[in-house]
Structure 1
Amino acid sequence: MAEPIQQLSSNNQGRSHREQVPFALLGRKEKCGEILYEKRHYEKGHWACITMHEETYEQSICYGFMRIMKYICQQNSLGDYLGMTLPIVTVVRTDENHSGISHNVTVAYYLPTEHQAQPPQPLDNDIVIEIWPAAVVYTRAFSGPTNEVTIINQINILAELLDSPEACVNDSFIVAGYTNPAHSNRQNEIWFLERH
């Protein structure tokens, strides 16, 4: 299982760069020089997604990430390394009062620009290529591990900071990861999707 991670590390030091999922910054709320949250617009795009249902959220994202990495590294119809984009996102679902997270977790990878028009097909039958519609998201950065407790905390913190949290979807959230899930000091964001 470590092989895709090593490939990710070595590829990033050499020929490839990490492409950011493109977005337009619509605004941000700051207090005393600290960014409380940002409002962004993400374009419609192709994402490779896998839904996992493990014992814990942590296991679901780790196993899901490994399988997505295998798709990125070689297990695709091109048989080639596709290139890394950041963040890798996980879609989490909660109950209405945000006290618990469903064990069904979707891990998703945004296909690099060169593969957006014709996404390479996964060899893993559980990975599906989806077109995600354009979306406005409210996002807040946080660091450290991502487990059920920290995610629920981050959801509640962002809900309190927003002027009108009711304008956002309230039972499905996105955790955006900018570092490997095995990394101890992960750089993450919590995303709220604005309702259409």
Structure 2
Amino acid sequence: MAEPIQQLSSDNQGRSQREHVPFTLLLRKEKCGEQLYEKRHYEKGHWACITMREDTYEQSICYGFMRIMRYICQQNSLGESKSNYLTFVLFQCLSDLGDYLGMTLPIVTILRTNENHSVISQDVTVAYYLPIEHQAQPPQPYDGEIVIEVWPAATVYTRGFTGPTNEVTIINQINAMAELLDSPGMCVNDSFIVAGYTNPAHSNRQNEIWFLERR
């Protein structure tokens, strides 16, 4: 599991090894030379997702992240062949038969809030975008709680921020982003995405808050 952790924790020299979730930039809103937010379009794609229900948001994203990392590193069907399928079924809990899938960024978490954006729900979904080479045939996870989902194309409004991601900072970022948007009502108002570009344990995380445009 060391390789993806190192990639998420390394400096700019390692960024060429990471595949970013592809998007089309539609708009960049600036004021006095400061970037306020971006509007992006993301195409349909396969994501590996796990929903956690820990006591705090940070516990959920850390535990979810580690389980996604196991899927990325070895706990997947990439190394499985038809000839050893029966062996895999019998002994999947005793061995790691898969292969390293490759790291993509960002790792995202989906969260929900109450109507006035003051409380985050306990259920948090951590998701990993499958690399391009695996989009057509996603390797299957051995972890029964990780599911492969096809996310439809979406338009998002996104704003970057630095530092820890916890209940307080996320609520602050949601409210700050809502104030920047000319028409916040055009976005989903009870479900948001936090995109992480660094290890959740990193002290100086690089993050974004995403608002989903209503269909």
Cross-structure match for 1:8: 4
Deviations 1:128-185 (A, max 9, x none): 0000000000000000000000000000000000000000000000000000000000
Aligned residue number for residue 50 of structure 1: 50
SS in 1 for 2:77: coil
Q: Which residue of 2 is the match for residue 82 of structure 1?
A: 101
Asked whether the 8 Å contact 2:44–2:153 carries over to 1, the reply is: yes
Which of 146, 159, 162 is matched with 1:140 structurally? 159
Once the two structures are superposed, what CA deviation does each residue of 1:62-103 show, in whole Å capped at 9, x if it has no partner?
A: 000000000000100010000000000000100010000001
| 1:156 aligned residue (175, 186, 189) | 175
Q: Distance in 1 between matches of 2:143 and 2:33?
A: 45
Which amino acid is the alignment partner of residue 80 of structure 1? D
Does the 8 Å CA contact 2:47/2:150 hold for their aligned counterparts?
Answer: yes
Structure 2 residue runs of 5 or longer lacking an equivalent are 79-97
**Any residues of structure 2 matched to 1:11-160 within 5 Å, and which?**
17-78=17-78, 79-160=98-179
* CA-based RMSD: 1.3
Task: Kindly state the Cα deviation for residue 34 of structure 1 after the two structures are TM-superposed.
Answer: 1.0
Q: Which runs of 5+ in 1 are unaligned?
A: none
Q: Which secondary structure does the structure 2 equivalent of 1:130 belong to?
A: strand
How far has the Cα of 1:60 moved from its partner?
A: 0.2
The structure with the greater share of residues assigned to helix is 2
Structure 2 residue 214 is matched with structure 1 residue 195 = yes
Tell me the distance in 1 between the aligned counterparts of 2:210 and 2:45: 17
Q: Supply the distance in 2 between the matched residues of 1:99 and 1:81 (Cα, whole angstroms).
A: 39
How many angstroms apart in 1 are the aligned matches of 2:170 and 2:7?
Answer: 30
Per the TM alignment, residue 8 of structure 1 is displaced from its structure 2 partner at its CA by 1.6
Larger radius of gyration: 2
How far apart, CA to CA, are the structure 2 residues paired with 1:100 and 1:115? 36
| Mapped partners of 1:17, 1:41: distance in 2 | 23
- Normalised by the length of structure 1, the TM-score is 0.95
State the 1:7 CA deviation. 2.6
- Give the superposition deviation at 1:126: 0.1
1:172–1:10 distance in 2 versus 1, CA, 3 Å? closer
